[in-house]
């Protein structure tokens, strides 16, 4: 790890040879990720080139002050670059029915928010659109950005409902591992208080009121901080 960190530091100081060496030493990560997409209609060489772009981005953005292995940071970046291309290039097909269902869900969500004054549940949106909760989530996932699997689709006083929670149980275990690796890396980037808010809210299932009492804040402050933290995490995913 010290060797890798030293090379990354040299890269950040403008050393092109260190950059080339890092790429060469981490091509195994690119090959491993590219293999997962070999049945998606894209040539192997193209997948590897895309993976290399993700690897270079990981090298450029990696912060050596964080206590995170470089590979933990790099794998999601490599994966995201490949998946983004496949989606943008139309190789990940989205049916017209899914697009229409997602559009209806968006309109229903807005209408329910105006009527209730709060964010509607998945079941409420499904009931308004005539879809089952499973059909609703499949439609939303189909048209959403790749990274949105970790994005809450409902957040009440209890634990949030993530899009990933509603996907079929046969979901690829490798994908789950990559999501966990990315989440770990994102949490490490947060400030101590931000990380504590996320830990209490999403890992200990505490309400905003409970978190506020524990941290000496108001419920409104916790709500605003939570939204700001999640927005920052999403922005980092899209780097």
For residues 234 and 74, give the distance between their C-alpha atoms in angstroms, rounded to a whole number.
17
> For 84-112, what is each residue's pLDDT tens digit?
787 665 544 455 676 788 788 888 888 88
Whether residue 172 is contained in a domain is answered as: no
Query: Looking at the domain assignment, is residue 213 inside a domain?
Result: yes
Handedness of CA 29, 202, 128, 166 (dihedral sign): positive
Taking the C-alpha atoms of residue 197 and residue 213, their distance in angstroms, rounded to an integer, is 12
The two three-digit tokens of residue 112, written as one number: 């329910």
Contacts by 167-176, CB closer than 8 A, 24 or more apart: 167/137, 167/141, 174/36
173 lies in some domain: no
For residue 181, pLDDT over 70 is answered with no
Q: What is the pLDDT of residues 20-71, one digit of tens each?
A: 998 999 898 898 888 877 766 677 888 899 899 989 988 888 887 766 778 8
Tell me: do 120 and 193 sit in the same domain. Answer: no
Tokens 């990354």 locate to: 8
Asked if 76 and 21 sit in the same domain, the reply is yes
Question: How many Å is the maximal CA-CA distance in the chain?
Answer: 60
134-167 residue pLDDT tens: 677 666 755 554 444 445 544 555 555 554 554 4
Structure confidence by residue, pLDDT tens digits, 192-225: 899 899 888 888 888 888 899 999 999 889 988 9
Question: What is the spatial distance between Cα 203 and Cα 182, in angstroms, rounded to a whole number?
Answer: 16
Tokens 């899009």 identify what position? 163
Q: Yes or no: say if 6 and 59 are a contact pair by the CB < 8 Å rule.
A: no
Range of the domain at 231: 180-237
Global pTM value: 0.42
Residue of 83, 19, 11, 74 whose CA lies nearest to 50: 83
């Amino acid at each position: 790890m010290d060797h890798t960190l030293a090379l990354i530091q040299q890269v950040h100081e403008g050393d092109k040879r260190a950059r080339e060496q890092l790429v060469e030493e981490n091509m195994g990560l690119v090959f491993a990720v590219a293999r997962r997409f070999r049945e998606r209609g894209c040539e192997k060489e193209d997948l590897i080139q895309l993976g290399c772009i993700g690897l270079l981005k990981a090298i450029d953005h990696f912060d050596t002050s964080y206590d995170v292995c470089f590979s933990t940071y790099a794998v999601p970046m490599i994966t995201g670059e490949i998946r983004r291309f496949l989606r943008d290039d139309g190789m990940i097909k989205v049916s017209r029915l899914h697009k229409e269902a997602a559009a209806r869900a968006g309109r229903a969500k807005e209408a329910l928010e105006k009527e209730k004054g709060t964010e509607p549940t998945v079941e409420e949106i499904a009931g308004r659109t005539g879809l089952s909760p499973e059909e609703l989530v499949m439609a939303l996932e189909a048209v959403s950005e790749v990274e949105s699997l970790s994005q809450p689709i409902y957040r009440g006083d209890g634990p949030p409902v993530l899009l990933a929670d509603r996907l079929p149980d046969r979901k690829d275990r490798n994908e789950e591992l990559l999501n966990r690796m990315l989440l770990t890396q994102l949490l490490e980037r947060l400030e101590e208080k931000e990380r504590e808010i996320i830990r209490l809210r999403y890992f200990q299932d505490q309400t905003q009121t409970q978190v506020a009492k524990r941290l000496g804040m108001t419920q409104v402050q916790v709500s605003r901080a939570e939204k700001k933290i999640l927005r920052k995490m999403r922005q980092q995913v899209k780097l």
